[in-house]
Copies of this chain bind each other. A is one copy, B any other.
Amino acid sequence: MKAYEELLGRMKEIDLIGQIGSLLSWDQEVMMPTKAAKIRAEQLAWISKTGHEKITNPRIDIILKELEEFSDLNEIQIANIRLVRESYDRSTKLPTEFVEDMAKHRSKSVISWTEAREKDDFEIFKPDLELAIEYARRKADFLGFEEERYDALLDLYETGLTISKLDPLFNGLKDNISPILNSVTNLKKRNELEWFEKDDWDLQGQEKLSQIVSEAIGFDFSSGRRDSSTHPFCGGPNPDDVRWTTRYSRTDPFGSLFGSMHETGHGTYEQGRPRSLDFQLAGKANGLGIHESQSRLWENQVGRSLEFCIWSLPHWKECFPDNMKDKDEGDLWEAVNSVKPGLIRVDADEVTYNLHIIIRYEIEKLLISGDIGVDELPNIWDDMYEKYLGISPPNYSLGVLQDIHWSMGAFGYFPTYTLGNLYASQLLDAAKNDLPDYNKSISEGRFGDLLGWMRNKIHSRGSILRPDELIEEATGIPPSSDSFVNYISQKVNGLYGI
């Protein structure tokens, strides 16, 4: 198959270009001196332009058309051909001029959003947001869709995702989470958690704990790094070079640790990719939802479990001998699971987090369909927070202006966060079925069983299947909210004795 060999060669070059771009971006966030920003943007623009030239080369379409006629292909070949086709189509369907205009508008919008948030003035951002929505609509039209325009945007972040698939999942959540949340807020326990809300958590202790936990989970530091950055993320060019960051605050030891566990989840996924498929799209990590499942799994399902607190308590005491004096695993467990409806998504607990996402999802559907205009947005935002979380933002900065996503034109992105939570629960249920010793292994710090299961069922499968197919293959059932609802009910029951 000469055509397939050529396709592999072209994919390899495109992948190498992407790897180099990843390293430049990581460096920009973590290492780059401040004045270098302007020329770094030129370097990144060159990388982006060069990558775009390679993927839009008409020769790719010719090879694909030839390969798409073949019937005797294995699952990896089928996946590579499908994934290059998706990538080629996405890159060629958007006119170059449109992409450039949109990129310029994105830069402008991020600036006006930043200013609007700082000055708590929605009007500053409004015209740019209006245009950003218009660009998103046009983008969807260029890309094409079968049922709803918004589907074309969802598909960009999670292949095959549509409103008709998401609505049932999110409705299942809404219907079940709201009663749980009401029962918790009515109880209003949790005053005895003040012990950890102090400004004296040693930063070196936090670094040490992050390192211990990440190593214990199985992140390979000879194939990766831990650093700090303002916005924690997991990046790096390839499975041999995975780089995650966290941030440290003297007032909050959980931010750095759970941030580290979250990024370690992303990082172990990247390190576990199938190495025989290096430089191939089929060997890449799957969509954002699956990626988020790996981070949420270690951050929440594992990290906030009583078993993990049992294992980690001695390490907490080693890293923070004064703060942790007289504390037991129960104190730690209650502290890391404090449930309280809040206004800010990124600070939300496991019970309320998905409600923040559902609010954004409902609003994006309305904005993209044109059922509401930007004028109405702030009121609708506040109404939804009142309805789902029983609280209302006192200003725009704590409300509709809190997220950067819309300024970047990333409509359709938010749902993947919740998909990650649902997938994580569903995967863990399936893993527990195969690992009868699971609870004991976590309380003893033997995380290799769970990591091995994920390696086998998820990491090593790359992007061979579509995300929902992969979840079904790994767990035996299609994506569902049942596992998560179950998980969160049990946790709240345990914590609050409801």
List residues of chain A with CB under 8 Å of any chain B CB: 13, 16-17, 19-20, 23-24, 27, 31-36, 38-40, 42-43, 46-47, 50, 220-225, 237-238, 240-241, 278
Contact = CB atoms under 8 A, between A and B. Distances in A.
A278 B38 CA distance: 12
Nearest to A13: B46
Given A36-B238, A36-B241, A223-B36, A43 B20 contact: yes
Contact of A39 (B36, B220, B225, B240): B240
Contact of A24 (B20, B35, B38): B20
Contacts of A38: 240
A39 B222 contact: no
Nearest to A278: B39
Given A20-B47, A23-B23, A23-B27, A39 B223 contact: no
B23 A39 contact: no
A31 B225 contact: yes
By CB atoms of chain B within 10 A, which of A33, A42, A220 has the most? A33
A24 B19 CA distance: 11
Contact of A33 (B17, B24, B221): B221
Contact of A35 (B27, B46, B222): B222
A17 B35 contact: no
A17 B46 CA distance: 8
Contacts of A23: 23-24, 27, 43
Contacts of A32: 241
A498 B364 CA distance: 85
Contacts of A34: 222
B222 A33 contact: yes
A237 B41 CA distance: 13
A342 B50 CA distance: 51
A241 B33 contact: yes
A35 B19 CA distance: 15
Nearest to A32: B241
A32 B19 CA distance: 13
A239 to B, nearest CB: 9
B46 A16 contact: yes
A408 B32 CA distance: 30
Contact of A16 (B17, B43, B220, B241): B43
Nearest to A21: B20
A228 to B, nearest CB: 14
Given A24-B20, A27-B27, A46-B16, A33 B237 contact: no
9 A-B pairs with least C-beta separation: A36-B241, A36-B240, A35-B223, A35-B240, A16-B46, A34-B222, A39-B238, A35-B222, A20-B43
A224 B33 contact: yes
Contacts of A16: 42-43, 46
A221 B47 CA distance: 26
A274 to B, nearest CB: 15
A13 B33 CA distance: 22
Contact of A241 (B39, B223, B224, B240): B39
Contacts of A42: 16
A315 to B, nearest CB: 24
Contacts of A27: 23, 27
21 contacts: A19-B39, A19-B43, A20-B20, A20-B43, A20-B46, A20-B47, A31-B225, A33-B224, A33-B225, A33-B240, A34-B222, A35-B220, A35-B222, A35-B240, A36-B237, A36-B240, A39-B237, A39-B238, A39-B240, A39-B241, A40-B241
Nearest to A50: B50
Contacts of A47: 20
Contacts of A224: 33
